[in-house]
Every structure is written in C-alpha cells, then in structure tokens.
Amino acid sequence: MEGRPSMTVLRSVHRRSLVAAVLAAGLLAGCAGSPSFLEPSSMIASRQAALFRLLLVPSAAVFLLVEGWLIFNVVRFRRRSSDQGLAPQVHGHPALEITWTVLPILLVTALFVLTVGTINAIAAPAGSPQDIRVHVIGHRWWWEFEYPDLHILTANELHVPANAVVQIQVDSVDVIHSFWVPQLSGKVDAIPGQTNELWFRADQPGEYYGQCSEYCGLNHANMRVTVIVDTPQDFDAWVENQQAPPPQPDGELAQKGHDLITQGICSNCHILGLEVPDESHQPSPAEAAGVRSHVGPNLNHLLSRSMIAGETIELTEANLASWLTQNQVMKPGNDMVVNLTDEDVAALMAYLKTLK
C-alpha cells in the first residue's frame, strides 16, 4: 500500500516520458508497428523519409523564428499602464521587407533542388529481365495482381522476392484508387483508362501493410493490401504453388462446389485458375485489349492467402463459410450479392478448402 503513491508518481513520470518518447519517435524516428515511411524498408522510402526529416530542420527554424517573434512581441510590447503617449508610427522598412522576401526565395530554391535530387534518385531503373513485373488492377474494393511473366493471377496479397526490382503497372477497372505501401514506396493512383508505373525493391523479407488511399466509395476503408516480401527460395516455392492448376474435386459434394464455381452462380464474377497460354494460343481481341470479364478475385489457391474481404478478415474455414452468406454484413455494400442455400455452402466449402 505504501508503495502506491510513489508508484503513481513513477507511473506518471514514466507516462510523461513515454508521451515525449512517442512524440519524438512518431515525428523523427518513425513508429515501429505503424505502416509508416519513416520506418522504411526500401531505398525509395528511405530517401523519402530522409528528405522529410531534412525538411523538418528549416521548418523548425521558421517555426521558432515566427512563434518566438510573436511571443516576444506580446510580452515585450504589451501595453502597460505606465505607457505614455502613442507608439512610434513606423510605416515599414524597405530593406527589411526585401530581406524577408529574398531569404524565403533562397530557402525554397534550396528545397526545390533537394526535391529534384530525390525525384531523380528514386526514379525507376531501366528494365531488366530479372525484374519481377506485376500488373496491379484496382477493383471496388480489392486489389488484383497479375504476374504477366509468371502466369499468376492473385488478389490482395502481393508476393515479391527481397532485393529484386519490382516493376509495377497500375490501373483500375472502375473508379480511381491509389496503390500505397508506405514502407516500400510512395503512392500512385490507379486510374481507369490510364496505366501508371511504380517500382520498388524491398530490402528484407517481411509483411508490409498498405491500403487504398484514394476515396473510392463505400468500402474504401476495407480495400487493403499486404505485400509479402519472401526470401528467393520462398518466392520460388510460392510461384510454383500458384502456377499449379486447380485440383480435381474429390467426391460428389466437392464436385458440386466446383461446378458452382466454374459454371454456376459464382462464375458470373469469379474465375478458377488461369488458362496457361500455350505457344499456339491466339488472344481474343478483348483479351488483347486487357478487358476483363471477371469482377471478383481468382479463387484458385484461395487458401494460400491469409485474409479475405480486402485483407480485413482472417481467412479461416469458419470465416469463409460465413462470408458466403453474411458478406454484406462483413463488408457492407460489396458487389457480392448471392443467395446460397446451406447445401450450396457445404458444397462450396468442400471444394474451396482444397484450393491451397
């Protein structure tokens, strides 16, 4: 009991220093655990973080100058009862006025030079055959990832190997979205009818959080992305798994589920695996133009992902089964509007859970 008061004091001191530490960490060092570019994992984000920290120096100087002068004015020139007569009627001082016009011009010129330098430093390198190429397509409200060289089509979880240049093309099939994984690179808008480019090279394996950052309607908050940076070995294993065609259904129930997906109501929006084009494959005009008929994610290898619903709900069998009937509660307003019977759900689950 006796220890209580001192504990409280200690705790409050501790809390105060904690607040100061959080402030300092948040502003200067980045905050561990946050998807922040101040905690960078690529050269691009590192350069952006360094530039931002550098900006804080002249900003702090100007801040201190102006607020300091303001406070000085209030303290020093506040009218006192002893004040006699009028203040000296000074109308201006041309030399001073020129000074505080010219100095800021010099300052912003310096900032502009830094800006140009960083833009050049983080510009995309020339393409090389070793690059991982990804086509990122924004949908309401999920991200689709197509690897044109690897014949992989997946959603919401982007796998890339560490220390490889990832060249990304970004566009959208509906409204404007913005692709942003702060620790890896800045954002670039996904604009219907326009293809934008982005690149990064992740420094080390890990999982990086991002989310759509251009308001795109009801589920803008639920349009998230995880970039999973693998070791080269893990990435190769992932690619090999993703390239496998969908498994044959095992048993009658699974067959029914499979048929719902490929021919039934699910096929209105979803696809199951990509047809690997052979040498003789002639793309249809629609395919060549990049027009997609599917509006939902590729279901093949669904269980290789860890989340569903735009990376907002953990992918467990229970959640997946709930999603089939309760998705309008779990992600209100999403485009999946279906009425499935219990038998349908059982059949779908029997097949879906084999899509590792």
Partner 1 sequence: MSTHSAALTRAEAFSQSRLGSWIMTVDHKRIGILYMGTAFAYFIVGGAFALLMRLQLAQPNGTVLSNADYDQVFTMHGTTMIFLVVMPFWAGLGNYLVPLMIGARDMAFPKLNALSYWLFLAGGLFMYSSFAFGGAPDAGWFSYAPLTEKIFSRGLGMDFWALSILILGISTTLGSINFIVTVAQLRAPGMTYDRIPVFVWMMVVTSFLAVFSLPSLTAAASLLLLDRQVGTHFYLGGQGGNALLWQHLFWFFGHPEVYILILPAFGIVSEVVPVFSGKPLFGYKVVVLSGMVIGLLGFTVWAHHMFATGMPVLSLLFFSADSFLIGVPTGVKIFAWLGTMTGGRIRLQTPMLFAIGHVALFLLGGLSGIHLAVVPVDWQLTDTYYVVGHIHYVLFGGAIFGLFAGLYYWMPKITGRTLSEGWGKVHFWLMFIGMNLVFFPMHILGLLGMPRRIYRYDVGHGWDTWNLLMTVGAFIVALSIVVFAVNFLLAWRQRPAAADDPWDAFTLEWATSSPPPPHNFDRLPEVRSARPLWDRKHPQQADWRREESPAV
Give Cβ neighbours of residue 64 (< 8 Å, ≥ 6 apart).
none
- Output 188 or 272, the one with its CB closest to partner 1: 188
Q: Shortest distance, CB of residue 234 to partner 1, whole angstroms? A: 24
> Among residue numbers 322 through 351, which ones bind partner 1 (CB under 8 A)?
332-333
> Among residue numbers 25 through 54, which ones bind partner 1 (CB under 8 A)?
26-27, 30-31, 33-38, 45, 47-48, 51-52
Q: Shortest distance, CB of residue 349 to partner 1, whole angstroms? A: 26
Q: Report how far Cα 104 is from the mean position of its chain's Cα atoms.
A: 35
- The count of other CB atoms within 10 Å of the CB of residue 51 is 17
> Among residue numbers 53 through 112, which ones bind partner 1 (CB under 8 A)?
55, 59, 62-63, 66-67, 69-70, 73-74, 77-79, 83, 86-93, 96-97, 100-101, 104-105, 108-109, 111-112
In whole angstroms, what is the distance from residue 55 CA to residue 28 CA?
11
> Among residue numbers 170 through 229, which ones bind partner 1 (CB under 8 A)?
174-176, 178, 180, 182, 185-189, 191-194, 196-197, 209, 211-222
- 184: buried, middle or exposed (CB in 10 Å: 19+, 13-18, 0-12)? buried
Q: Shortest distance, CB of residue 2 to partner 1, whole angstroms? A: 32
- Residue with tokens 């695996």, as numbered in its chain: 273
> Among residue numbers 285 through 324, which ones bind partner 1 (CB under 8 A)?
312
Q: Shortest distance, CB of residue 304 to partner 1, whole angstroms? A: 22
List 10, 13, 24, 119, residue binding partner 1 (CB under 8 A): 119
With CB under 8 A as the contact rule, which of the stretches 114-122, 149-157, 280-288, 347-355 interacts with partner 1? 114-122
Q: Shortest distance, CB of residue 135 to partner 1, whole angstroms? A: 15
Dihedral sign for Cα 286, 226, 38, 200, please. Answer: negative
Q: At what angle do helices 342-352 and 252-262 cross, to 10 degrees?
A: 90
Q: Shortest distance, CB of residue 3 to partner 1, whole angstroms? A: 27
**Count of residues of this chain found to bind partner 1 when the rule CB under 8 A is applied:** 90
Torsion, CA 252, CA 253, CA 258, CA 261, rounded to 10:
140
List 139, 140, 301, 305, residue binding partner 1 (CB under 8 A): 140
Dmax over Cα atoms in the chain, in whole Å?
101
3-state secondary structure of 45: helix
Give Cβ neighbours of residue 43 (< 8 Å, ≥ 6 apart).
122, 201, 203
Q: Shortest distance, CB of residue 277 to partner 1, whole angstroms? A: 24
